[in-house]
Amino acid sequence: MSANPTNGPGGITRRNFLTTVGAGAIGAAVSENALAAGKEVAPPQVTPAGRSVEVALRVNGRTHVVQAETRWTLLHVLREVIGLTGAKPGCERGECGACTVLIDGIPRYACLTLAVEVQGHDVTTLEGLMDGEKLGTVQAAFVEADAFQCGYCTPGQVMAVEGLLRANPNPSVEEIRRGVSGNLCRCGAYQHIFKAAHRAAELKAGK
């Protein structure tokens, strides 16, 4: 399974978008048929703009119950409500990958994911890879391979690699390239990032 954040279950893809639009059209047709047949149709449930709802998020093994507007992204809630700032706001339109987190072990863009979407799912952020103050395996490999310069994209790169290695513990160089293809490094440290991913695979295998 690809670790590209746009390919995860429930991710925002062209296929999912078209499927959702199609489902909406079918729902509208069914409602019209019910009305034509004289049947009562329950009115849709609408949450007024600006009204918050209770959202229960399981992040790094801990459940957080927060009040959030339905339009708020997971990135916003993680950073501004829960206080986990590992995921970074970059482009905030699903292009740079700085906000990458794991949802049920699969890399996803937190800026394109609504907080209400992830109820009932496990979210892992950069902070969740650590053991107290001890770096996680992938984080340690990034330090060892000097796989960053400015460091802003590094949290997203680390999460992309973590997700890749959970799905494929021994990836080839090409698989590593594809695994982090959704994460941009404006400093151009890609060769070191690839080395870090390879080293992380070794460390996880106990080598």
CATH class of the domain comprising 51-204: alpha beta
**pLDDT for position 47:** 65
Q: Please state the separation of Cα 85 from the chain's center in Å.
A: 14
**Two tokens at 67?**
């009040």
Higher pLDDT, 7 or 166: 166
Residue bearing tokens 């992040």: 59
- Give me the torsion for CA of 94, 95, 98, 102, rounded to 10°: 50
pLDDT (tens digit, 9 = 90+) per residue, 28-77? 554 555 555 666 777 776 666 678 999 999 999 999 999 999 999 999 99
pLDDT at residue 5 is higher than 70: no
H helical segments located in the chain: 14-36, 74-76, 137-144, 154-167, 173-179, 190-204
Q: What is the pLDDT of residue 207?
A: 74
Average pLDDT, the chain: 87
User: Is residue 185 exposed (0-12), middle (13-18) or buried (19+ Cβ within 10 Å)?
Assistant: buried
| pLDDT tens-digit readout, 171-185 | 999 999 999 999 999
Partners of 52 in the β-ladder: 69
How far is 95 from 97, CA to CA, in rounded Å? Answer: 6
> Is pTM beyond 0.95 here?
no
Least confident residue range of 16-25, 55-64, 110-119: 16-25
Joined together, the tokens standing for residue 162 give 């973590």
Written as six digits, the tokens of 69 are 């507007």
- Answer whether residue 104 shows pLDDT above 90: yes
Mean pLDDT value across residues 179-200? 97
What is the rounded average pLDDT of the residues 142-146?
97
Residue ranges of the domains in the chain? 7-36, 51-204
